[in-house]
Amino acid sequence: MNSDRRKRLSLLAERLTDVRSFLEDLRNEEEVALENMPESLQQGDRAQAMAERVGELDEALNQLDDVISCVEGCAA
């Protein structure tokens, strides 16, 4: 791979890392909101949906980590 394509892949990896950071912030905000819910609401449908979203965001973060790793490997 030539240096131009490697440079573009490195830039892409940086952008993906920024996206990952943004996604992680959203995931953490959702988890904090869930944890700060009154106990009386923590067993309800809304809390369950929030917990599912946190889990889905965790999965998205894991998948994004794999993509970033792959892109970084291609840029090396």
The phi and psi torsions of 61 (rounded to 5 degrees) equal -65, -40
* Per-residue model confidence as pLDDT tens digits over 5-49: 999 999 999 999 999 999 999 999 999 999 999 988 888 999 999
The label of the residue with tokens 């009386």 reads 40
User: What local confidence, expressed as pLDDT, does residue 18 receive?
Assistant: 98
Q: Of 54, 52, 69, 67, nearest to 24 (Cα)? A: 54
Q: How far is CA 25 from the centre of its chain?
A: 8
pTM above 0.85, yes or no: yes
Gap between the Cα atoms of 65 and 23, Å rounded:
12
Report which residue type is found at 32. Answer: V
- pLDDT at residue 46 in the model: 93
